[in-house]
Chains A and B, each alone.
Chain A
Amino acid sequence: MHFEFQIEGGNFTRAGYASSEIKKMLKQLNVDLGIVKRTVVATYEAEVNVVAHAYSGTIYVDFDEEKVVIRLVDEGPGIPDIDQAMKEGYTTASSTVREMGFGAGMGLPNMKKNADDLQISSEVDKGTTVQITMYFQGRK
């Protein structure tokens, strides 16, 4: 099964819509609720990051029998140093993002903690791709 969602940069009203839809799908598939929570927390953090930092983005969701792969591809400023961005407390978020309750430099580390597999690639001034893989039978 394949699904796609569009994300609009800067639109905090809609941030979380895609993660919410993904949560409904996982629940319909009777995925273990602990895995559902880890999946949607990681996806929501990633979705908020696209809204907070990028101009636009697309989420590609692919389910098969054993896993779901969620790929968030954005057009935006990119991440110059991914290792630095993975450090807890490091942030480049604007005051608007902070007013929304985010931007404390916790998103990427929390995605790493929740995802079974997390891949990040980025090109400065082009954009960032985040891929979250979750296995329905637990972490591999």
Chain B
Amino acid sequence: MTVAQIAQILNARIICGEDRQDHHLEVACASDLMSDVLTLKEDNVLLVTGLANLQTLRTAEMSDIHCVVFARNKTVSPEMIELARENDIIVLECPYSVFRTAGILYQAGIKPIY
């Protein structure tokens, strides 16, 4: 599934990485615990989270996660956008809860890691 398709089904706004809407994603995880995210061995995972701070993007950077969806209507700060741009991370803001976001993605065929 492409970022553009994901943004559409989640009613999400692409905040960063507008030029990479054709980036393809197949698996996702949902977590507010960055320690959990850091244990994932897979690359190119879509991260769904309600934790909006700089460390979310640092975690994405270290884990080779190229796309983060901030659910629960969380807003991304200018510092977060800057860090995302530096590391080529696509950022989406989504008005739905983490549960609803994950449900929509699962129904659309995005796979869980385990």
Contacts and interface: CB of A to CB of B under 8 A. Distances in A.
Interface of A: 12-13, 15-16, 19-20, 23, 33, 37, 40-41, 44-45, 48, 99-104, 106-107, 110, 113
B34 A101 contact: yes
A136 B13 CA distance: 40
Contacts of A40: 62
15 contacts: A13-B54, A15-B58, A16-B58, A16-B61, A20-B58, A45-B38, A100-B34, A100-B53, A101-B32, A101-B34, A101-B55, A102-B33, A103-B35, A107-B35, A110-B38
Given A41-B38, A106-B39, A101 B62 contact: no
Interface of B: 32-39, 43, 51, 53-56, 58-59, 61-64, 79, 87
A30 B58 CA distance: 21
Contacts, number: 69
A106 B36 contact: yes
A104 B61 contact: no
B55 A41 contact: no
Contact of B33 (A12, A16, A101, A113): A101
A13 B58 CA distance: 10
Contact of B64 (A13, A37, A113): A37
A43 B63 CA distance: 12
Given A15-B58, A44-B59, 11 more contacts: A16-B58, A19-B62, A33-B43, A40-B62, A44-B38, A100-B55, A101-B35, A101-B55, A101-B56, A102-B33, A104-B36
B83 to A, nearest CB: 9
Contacts of B36: 104, 106
A44 B62 contact: yes
Nearest to B38: A41
B39 A110 contact: yes
Contacts of B64: 33, 37
Contacts of A44: 38, 58-59, 62
